Amino acid sequence: MAVKLDTRTVESSVAAEIYISATPREGTSLQDQSYEIFRGIRQILRSKKAHILQERVFATQATIETISRARSKAYADFDDGVSPSLLVGREGLSGPFAGVQVHAVSSDPRCFLRSKSGGPEVIDVDGRPCGRILHLSGCTLVTLSSISALQFTEATEQARACLEKSESALKQFGADFLSVARTWVWLRDILSWYDDFNRVRNKFFTERGLIGEGSRQSMPASTGIGLGSADGSKCAMDLIAVLGPEGSPQFLPAVGKQQCALEYGSAFSRASRAVTPAGETVFVSGTASIDARGATTHIADPAGQINTTIENVRAVLADMHCRDQDVVQAVAYCKTTEIEEIFNALKDDLPWPWVTTICDICRPELLFEVEATAMPKPAKTH
């Protein structure tokens, strides 16, 4: 087979959540790899009567058109019109196509509340389908993908507009950013303007009462990374928001071995925890080789950074009562293929479903970053 499909399924009495991590194998053409990946994903989801909630494609810019055509052909009428997040990095050791991640949900159609389709309903933002809302008994979930603002030229203007457009989408359902459990921020040329991005986000979160005097520091877990959106935008955003039950999500500004990132100017929680259709999900933010004071460690030492990063992620998971086998998705962001090669020699020690991509991290001296999603103590997993 030209691809590897890693599927993690977590079930409750109400629903099943399905996480798929698909990566190509060497020795086959891009066209064959792409078609086999999406055909395999469709077969898995069809067999489970599942609906996609979020989907991400990691590849180089030159491959996006071929991959998108293969997806359309493989999915056919399975496609609900919401495009995946098409994320552009540099070519890695396995070639120009790094992989695909899918988060999906399955339930008895009668359990989908307020649904005409028997599954999640599509959300339009500015006339474009770019999200989904899922109403199940005990849980309402919103996902948004590839929110961007190409009408603006400046990177900071695009960043502010992404936040405002996401907020506007949530307001359709009586929600706001206090409901957002997790964001992913795709920052083209991250090293040239990451501090500026942080100032934009900090100002927006302060204005909305997420941080600042009198707030509870209700910052989503987040990844801010140097992957570009294939549409050419300088900033694009994905998110997951939990509109119910009350009290979800919960935000953990400091957890594991690291203190609150806001202390050095970056407004995100180290992790968040939320009720999701099949139980409870822990979202671990993008994590690197950074100590409790916010300083980079193991500078110019790739193996040291990789090992420390994984230790930091595992410390967060342990505090959240998650085991290694509870991790349902993970992304390794490597600065170069040399870093990826070192990581490849170490990654098999963990049973996490990896997708690895090549891009810049948020500091020039950082070589490696990891994010993870886990579902602890599930009722049933296989």
> Which residues are CB-contacts of 214 (< 8 A; sequence separation ≥ 6)?
none
Question: Are 279 and 138 within 8 A, CB to CB?
Answer: no
Tell me the per-residue pLDDT of 210-249, one tens digit each, with 9 for 90 and over: 999 988 899 999 999 999 999 999 999 999 999 988 889 9
Average pLDDT over residues 73-84: 95
> Which residues are CB-contacts of 84 (< 8 A; sequence separation ≥ 6)?
55, 56, 57, 71, 100, 145, 146
Reply yes or no on whether the pLDDT at 381 is more than 50.
no
Question: Are 85 and 99 within 8 A, CB to CB?
Answer: no
**Distance from C-alpha of 233 to C-alpha of 251, rounded to nearest angstrom:** 29
CATH number, domain of 297, equals: 3.30.1330.40
Tell me the per-residue pLDDT of 162-197, one tens digit each, with 9 for 90 and over: 999 999 999 999 999 999 999 999 999 999 999 999
Q: Which tokens sit at 133?
A: 């809302």
> What domain range includes position 279?
3-381
pLDDT of residue 115: 64
**Distance from C-alpha of 117 to C-alpha of 190, rounded to nearest angstrom:** 39
The 10 Å CB-count burial string (b at 16+, else e) for 223-242 is bbbbbbbbeebbbbbbbbbb
Average pLDDT over residues 58-83: 97
**Distance from C-alpha of 345 to C-alpha of 235, rounded to nearest angstrom:** 33
**DSSP-H helix ranges across 26-63:** 30-47
pLDDT of residue 379: 43
Q: Tally the C-alpha atoms within 13 A of residue 136's C-alpha that lie toward its C-beta.
A: 24
Q: Which of 264, 255, 305 lies closest to 284 in space, CA to CA?
A: 255
| Residue 116 pLDDT level (bands cut at 50, 70, 90) | low
Amino acid 167 reads: E
- In the chain, % of residues over pLDDT 70: 96
- Number of structural domains, the chain? 1
User: pTM (2 decimals)?
Assistant: 0.96
**Distance from C-alpha of 67 to C-alpha of 33, rounded to nearest angstrom:** 9
